[in-house]
Every structure is written in structure tokens, then in C-alpha cells.
A and B are shown apart, each in its own frame.
Chain A
Amino acid sequence: NAGVMQNPRHLVRRRGQEARLRCSPMKGHSHVYWYRQLPEEGLKFMVYLQKENIIDESGMPKERFSAEFPKEGPSILRIQQVVRGDSAAYFCASSRTQGAGEKLFFGSGTQLSVL
């Protein structure tokens, strides 16, 4: 029973390029969350998605960042025109439902480095 799968593990981009981060939730999970972790800081919520729907994007920067979770395939976090400040570890998590008692399981993350 594979856990939350994220790829790539490491991604290097030059300023102005696009970054695409992928997340496949655990089998049977239909709720996906993206978090960002800056060096020596805790994780910050970015966005919560269900299949084909964005439920809560209150933590997403207003520009350059977007997320999707299509009917088929992984969830994608897309960062356009990356800047050095986007360098961070991006974690995806999934849960089976959003109700009481549901636990959140995290992937190993994608480390984004912007040169």
C-alpha cells in the first residue's frame, strides 16, 4: 500500500522558468493538501483540493501559483515565472475524507531550488 508519492524529489529551475510539482495521494484518498516549508520554519498551508475542485486556496500566493487535481492523474502544483523566494520544500498530503477522525499523511516532498 504505497504512501503519498511526490515527484520530482529535487527540482532546479532558473528565475523566470516554470515549476510543476506532482502528487499522487494514497490509494483510496480523494482529498489533497499542499504545504510549503521554508528553511528552518514550520509548514504553511497553501491549498486544499478534492477531485476536480479547489476547496480552499487561502494560503496560495495570488499570482504565479496554481493547483489542480484532475479526475484522472496526480495533483499538480504549478509555479510560473519562479523567483528565488520560491525556493522551499513543497509537501503534499492526503486524507480519505475531511471528517473528524481522518488523519493526514504526507509525502516526502519536492525540494525546489531557484537559481
Chain B
Amino acid sequence: GENVEQHPSTLSVQEGDSAVIKCTYSDSASNYFPWYKQELGKGPQLIIDIRSNVGEKKDQRIAVTLNKTAKHFSLHITETQPEDSAVYFCAATSGTSYGKLTFGQGTILTVHP
């Protein structure tokens, strides 16, 4: 089955800096890659996603890149703010059901004011 590795496990940045989180996946058939933000005591919230026919996608301060050949994808957050502090999860799926996701282990992002 699919295996998703996520790095780093913790990331600390100063407000205004950029943050990058990287994930690799094992199943070359994977075709959908969402990113979720989870705040303490809450469920994961979808922040951006990308499909295998696209190499990059941006939404304001957030961008995701996908390299299908290398089987890795990354989340980029620019101009970080303290409210960006949370746990971020990448995920991948290759099935016909986009809801059956394989998640990475998570990255704890801390943005210092």
C-alpha cells in the first residue's frame, strides 16, 4: 500500500519568514495530494490540494508543488504569521475514492512573533 513520509517533524520560524514542508510517497499511482492544518483540539482543515496533472498550485500565501518523477510534493508558506502555528499533514491517495487518504506523520510549525 501507499506510504507517505513527511519532514521535518518540527519547524520553527520567525514571523515573516517562509516555511517549507516536504513529503514523499511510494505509490506511483497516487493522483491526489491534499494538505491539512490541524489546530489544537480541532479536526484537520483542508488548506490546499493538488492533482497529478498539475505541477504547482498557489492560494495567496500558500503554494504546493508536485514532482511526479521523484514522487515528492511540498508545501510552501510565505510571510508566515503566528496564526499559521499548527500541525500540518500531507496526504496522498491513489484510489477512485478521494476520501481514503494516507497521511504523513505531521509537522509541528511554530511561528514566533
Binding site for B on A (CB under 8 A): 4, 6, 31, 33, 40-45, 48, 55-56, 91, 93, 95, 98-100, 102-109
Contacts and interface: CB of A to CB of B under 8 A. Distances in A.
A100 B100 CA distance: 13
A106 B44 contact: yes
A104 B101 contact: yes
Given A42-B89, A103-B49, A91 B44 contact: yes
Nearest to A41: B105
Contacts, number: 66
Among the interface residues B36, B51, B97, B104, which one has the most CB atoms of the partner chain A within 10 A? B97
A4 B46 contact: no
Interface of B: 4, 6, 32, 34, 36, 41-46, 49, 51, 89, 96-106
Nearest to B46: A103
Nearest to B108: A40
12 contacts: A33-B99, A45-B102, A56-B100, A91-B43, A91-B44, A93-B99, A95-B98, A98-B98, A100-B98, A104-B34, A108-B41, A108-B43
A48 B4 CA distance: 20
Contacts of A42: 4, 6, 89, 103-106
A67 to B, nearest CB: 14
Contacts of B34: 103-104
B49 to A, nearest CB: 7
A48 B97 contact: yes
